[in-house]
Amino acid sequence: MSAALRRFFLLSPALAVILFLIGVPLCLMAWVSLLDKGGTSGVDWSSAPSSANYVRLAWEEDFDGTMILNTSYLVIFLRSVSLAAVTTVLSLAFGLPVALWMASLSRTGRDIMLLLITIPFWTNLLVRNYAWLIILREDGWVSRFVNMISPWPVQLLYNDAAVAIGLTYSLLPFTILPLYTVFEKFDWRLLEAAHDLGATRKRALLRVVLPIATPGIVAGALLVFIPCLGAFVTPALLGGGKTLMLGNIIQMQFGASRNWPFGATLAVVLLAIMLVVMTAMALWRNRRTA
């Protein structure tokens, strides 16, 4: 058996998984996004492929047949991206100090912290979001406390802020863990060297710690930003149906609306946004390390 053939056979299980579980469904989704809705299955398989679903994202047909701009989907796209960005920034703001602090602990301290951070994953995401519902609702103690010290009434639940809080809570571990792995390997003598060469604590953080932690920061940011874009449980529960995100309308198209082709269209667009973000990040990192 030649080396190439041998390599192919050894790789075949992985290749099969990638082909049949990722490649084929993706192509299928892209194909469906070009079809019409129909029947009980949600897809009219016999319809001719067209770009109609993509046009529908931004334009709609007026009563007299002219196409006019419809911004309702664009607003949801924009809101999804900005909520994901806010969540990413919040996760980094909370995650960086926690990860730094964890890396400074003893062996046992680190293990305990890692355990504490992973414990929320033992509970279903839905249950954890219901917990936030109880924490933030009007007669909850957090809400009562905030309204006691605030001069004007504050609504904590069913708005963008509630969604951002919920998403940050759910995804924070994904920022902490990659940052922690970077800081755990960090050579703290470099900090001494920076101080020795005249850098104050703030300057040493900016010039030595953060640049070396960049791979962790990028990984942590992507791991939060991407799931955020597709999130639908948190916006549905904590946004109260008012704050729709991409994930929600995709779910609605496949569910209640029974419009699989349009759902597939939205999913393809979501995928495209993620691809653009990840490519931009990769290009930026290559330029930095070159």
Where along the sequence are the contacts to other proteins (CB under 8 A)?
187, 189-190, 192-200, 203, 207-208, 211-212
- Which CB sits closer to other proteins, 3 or 202? 202
Shortest Å, Cβ 142 to other proteins:
40
Shortest Å, Cβ 202 to other proteins:
11
Shortest Å, Cβ 197 to other proteins:
4
- Which CB sits closer to other proteins, 211 or 241? 211
- Burial per residue of 5-28, b for 16 or more beta-carbon CB atoms within 10 angstroms, e otherwise: eeeeeeeeeeeeeeeeeeeeeeee
Torsion of CA 101, 83, 77, 24, to 10 degrees: 30
Integer Cα distance of 270 and 26 in angstroms: 13
- Which CB sits closer to other proteins, 111 or 192? 192
Integer Cα distance of 172 and 82 in angstroms: 17
- Which CB sits closer to other proteins, 135 or 191? 191
Q: Are 235 and 279 in contact (CB under 8 A)?
A: no
Shortest Å, Cβ 285 to other proteins:
12
Q: How many CB atoms lie within 10 A of CB 242?
A: 10
Shortest Å, Cβ 208 to other proteins:
6
Shortest Å, Cβ 185 to other proteins:
11
Integer Cα distance of 157 and 140 in angstroms: 10
- Which CB sits closer to other proteins, 208 or 264? 208
Phi, psi of 167 (to 5 degrees): -70, -40
Say which DSSP state 23 is in: I
